[in-house]
Chain A
Amino acid sequence: MIHVSLTHYLVVSAFLFSFGLYGVVTRKNAVMVLMGIELILNSANINFVAFSKFGNYGLNGQIMALFVIILAAAEAAIALAIVLNIYKTFAHVDVDKINNLKE
């Protein structure tokens, strides 16, 4: 058995990214699309932290991961508020059927 190296982490991150992208593309519910986006952000973060450890660039990668997490929090707060407003206007959150900017 090979020892865990940088490639192992990259493979995990690649699979996580693909799952997230699959969720974003196929799901109809807006909240589920958001969950897919969270998966994608997590996979990017794994890459940042892995390169930070194996690349000997100090902690810059970890700082970037921290910024991504904080931006994800702000993004989730705004996006879910918008989803709540969409639900109020259309009475559903199916992203395929929402094609009007106004009622």
Chain B
Amino acid sequence: MSLYDVIFYLFALVTLVSAFMVVTTKNIVHAAFYLLFTFFGVAGIYALLGADFIAVVQLMVYVGGILVLILFGVMLTNKITNVQIRSGSTNLVAAAVVIGIFAGALLTMMLNTRWLVNPGKTLITTIPQIGSLLVKQYVLIFELLGILLLIALVGAASIARKEEREK
């Protein structure tokens, strides 16, 4: 068992245990903090897969942005007077059974398929290649993402501002 394998199992363990805690813990704030560890674990898996840029983007966007936004969502949507912020759950048994069957099917499929594995050369850094792809092949998507971000910015800000003004 090489060091690579040890690190992989470590990150996989961190990711899966914290993801399990996210969906089972009662306290919403705890769930948000377990989500932080899930994102870190997934970033580590990206780094192990040789995707350094994606790993950094994961940390910047998910941990630095989306998680902060989710924490604001938690703080702004609960009756702040009671410290015990709880979230109820429904249909636990039925959901567990159905999703257990679903996960079993997914795992059977993934373990029994003979994947065509043909690893390419691992690059020293991926950023110049990603940049060339963005500017050449995916240039339309690149510009469309700019427009999407503009729409998201205007839309979300106006929805959130409406609440503020009427208060």
Contact = CB atoms under 8 A, between A and B. Distances in A.
Contacts of A102: none
Given A10-B110, A26-B23, A26-B90, A80 B148 contact: no
Interface string B135-146: 000100100010
Given A74-B148, A77-B156, A69 B12 contact: no
Contact of A9 (B45, B65, B77): B45
A28 B92 CA distance: 11
Given A27-B89, A42-B38, A80-B73, A59 B133 contact: yes
A18 to B, nearest CB: 4
Interface string A53-89: 1111111101101110111111011101111110110
B81 interface: no
Nearest to B52: A62
Contacts of B51: 49, 52-53, 62, 65
Contacts of B31: 32, 35
B124 interface: no
A1 B138 CA distance: 41
A22 B96 contact: yes
Given A16-B16, A69-B54, A26 B91 contact: yes
Contacts of A8: 8, 12
B103 A14 contact: yes
B22 A39 contact: yes
B46 to A, nearest CB: 6
Interface of B: 1-2, 4-5, 8, 12, 15-16, 19-20, 22-23, 28, 31-32, 35, 38-39, 42, 45-46, 48-51, 53-54, 57-58, 61-62, 65-66, 69-70, 72-74, 76-77, 87-92, 95-96, 98-100, 102-103, 106-107, 110-111, 115-120, 122, 126, 129-130, 133-134, 138, 141, 145, 148-149, 151-153, 155-157, 159-160, 162-163, 166-167
Given A36-B22, A63-B130, A69-B61, 18 more contacts: A1-B1, A9-B45, A16-B16, A22-B23, A23-B22, A26-B90, A26-B95, A31-B73, A34-B73, A38-B62, A45-B58, A46-B46, A49-B54, A57-B120, A81-B156, A81-B160, A84-B163, A85-B159
